[in-house]
Chain A
Amino acid sequence: MPLDILIVDDSAAIRKILQRVLRQADVDVGQVYEAGDGLEALETLKKHKVHLVLADVNMPNMNGMQLLAEIKSDAELASVPVIMVTTEGSQSKVMEAAQLGAAGYIRKPFSADQIKDKISSLF
């Protein structure tokens, strides 16, 4: 079954790069949705069922950690894996993401293989 994926990042450049990486991954990618911040992501998640979320941490309006907490506290969304893709590399941020229920934490700069390997390990 193709995976529908939501990319959440305020940088259009990163969204474009991740789109390209997903199309090259060894998983069957279906629809890829994009959102520029956490609030926009929640709106998208209300309209579309996705199998995976890739989210930045530092974003306007609602950051990635707040988005992660919202997803994990929503009974309908809680099972959707969320991978954080961010410049924030401190141990405290990694631990915070893990405690909130993130399925992975990838630090920018990332290689295409890191993204592909992480997704392959989840599906």
Chain B
Amino acid sequence: MPADLKDSIVKAVAAATNEVFSTMLVMEATPGEAYCEKVPQVSDGVVAFIGLAGKWTGTGMISCSPALACRLASQFLMTDYQPGSEAVNEEVLDAVAELANIIIGNAKNLLEEELGPMGMSIPTVIFGRNFTARSAGQGEWVVTPFQCEAERLEVRMHLAPARDPMPLRHGYQPPECVELR
């Protein structure tokens, strides 16, 4: 992955995460050092991911422990979800999915200035243990870790140019270029 694209992703993810935490969670998330990985190293906890498609295509993902998922949901919904696997109920999973939607969506909005328009899928959320995640393609994932209270939240993003970009909307015709004199 080109270094400037990695930097753009890290900056966009940090800005989006910071805005969501300060506006809707009233919590601090301190970014750590970002890094790249070939395969997402996520095997436990709560994971929410969203597909991105346009001239660039890929996936955005957030992951955290069940305890942090409960804490984030408690702040987001102003309801007390006690940490523990039993407490990771549908409401907690829905809250994490929506947080992923807002974080990845806002990062996408910032990246669109550089990469062009991208559409977003509806988020999918998984909670479990000992799972393995894979993504088709050869690209790298940019991982931005955040320290949130005593826990760790990771935001991953994988983007690559689309081989055959899909039209954003059925029947959409791009405007013709007009030379201005």
Contacts and interface: CB of A to CB of B under 8 A. Distances in A.
Interface of A: 10-14, 16-17, 20, 58-60, 87-90, 92, 108-111
A12 to B, nearest CB: 5
Given A89-B106, A90-B109, A13 B91 contact: yes
A52 B92 CA distance: 28
Contacts of A89: 105-106, 109
A87 B122 contact: no
B98 interface: yes
Interface residues of B, number: 23
A91 B94 CA distance: 28
A58 B122 contact: yes
Interface of B: 19-20, 23-24, 73, 76-78, 90-91, 94-95, 97-98, 101-102, 105-106, 109, 112, 117, 120, 122
Contacts, number: 58
A108 B94 contact: no
Contact of B102 (A10, A16, A87, A92): A87
11 contacts: A12-B91, A13-B77, A17-B77, A58-B101, A58-B122, A87-B105, A89-B105, A90-B109, A108-B101, A109-B20, A109-B106
The prevalent SS among residues of B at the interface is: helix
A37 to B, nearest CB: 10
Given A90-B112, A109-B19, A13 B95 contact: yes
B167 to A, nearest CB: 14
A110 B105 CA distance: 13
B105 A17 contact: no
Given A17-B76, A109-B106, A90 B101 contact: no
A108 B107 CA distance: 12
B46 to A, nearest CB: 14
A13 B109 contact: no
A11 B150 CA distance: 28
Contacts of B95: 13
Contact of A11 (B19, B73, B94): B94
